Amino acid sequence: MLLRTLQRTLRPLTALPTTTTAPSLLRGLTTTPHLHNLTTTPISPITPPTPPIPQQPSIPHQTGTLNITTPTAPTTPHPSLALLTALKSQPAQYITIHIHKFPFLVTVGDLVRLPFRLKDAAVGDSLRITHASVLGSRDYTLKGSPWIDPALFTCRARVVEETSEPMRVKEKTKRRNRRIKKVKSKHRYTVLRISELVVKDAPVMAAAAAGEV
């Protein structure tokens, strides 16, 4: 009995019947025959075709001088040309000049005594007045905003003399103070004579505005 028991335990595993092992091993397997031949291939993204780059035609190099002409802006006539012609036809004209912001209404031959002394102006010098606010005659008046264009007229003044007022003495006192302070003053003035006042013609004024005169 002992020998039979040892033989049964030492029997090789290969001697086991296939009928007992095969069903137990294949019991848990499930086969899907319709999926064996399927293969999955990755889908690559579709890239649009790149359009061809047009080639620019080659321009042959030309040597020479290129003349470029810039169009000149047309010169428009001054809106007061008709007024200037009518104003010039009058027998006498007047003008309001401004010297250091002091207005003076003058005509040809008038003497102007300035309330100050002009620096660097000697007797006999001729000065041209460029600041004027009013230019007119008996029936016509031309006003500036604030000044009239100097190209519309010519006004000149000549320095006649440099005069001074008599010496003035002013006494200054204070209350409850016996001291008396004396202040002396003697101002100097410049005297001008209007020697020329000309209203320019329309063609001359238009040429001056264009820079030809």
pLDDT of amino acid 29: 46
pLDDT of amino acid 199: 92
Q: What is the pTM of this model?
A: 0.56
pLDDT of amino acid 73: 44
Structure tokens at 76: 């428009």
pLDDT of amino acid 11: 58
Residue 153 forms beta bridges with which residues? 199
In angstroms, the CA 153 to CA 96 distance is 12
Residue ranges, the chain, pLDDT below 50: 13-16, 18-26, 28-38, 65-71, 73-75, 212-213
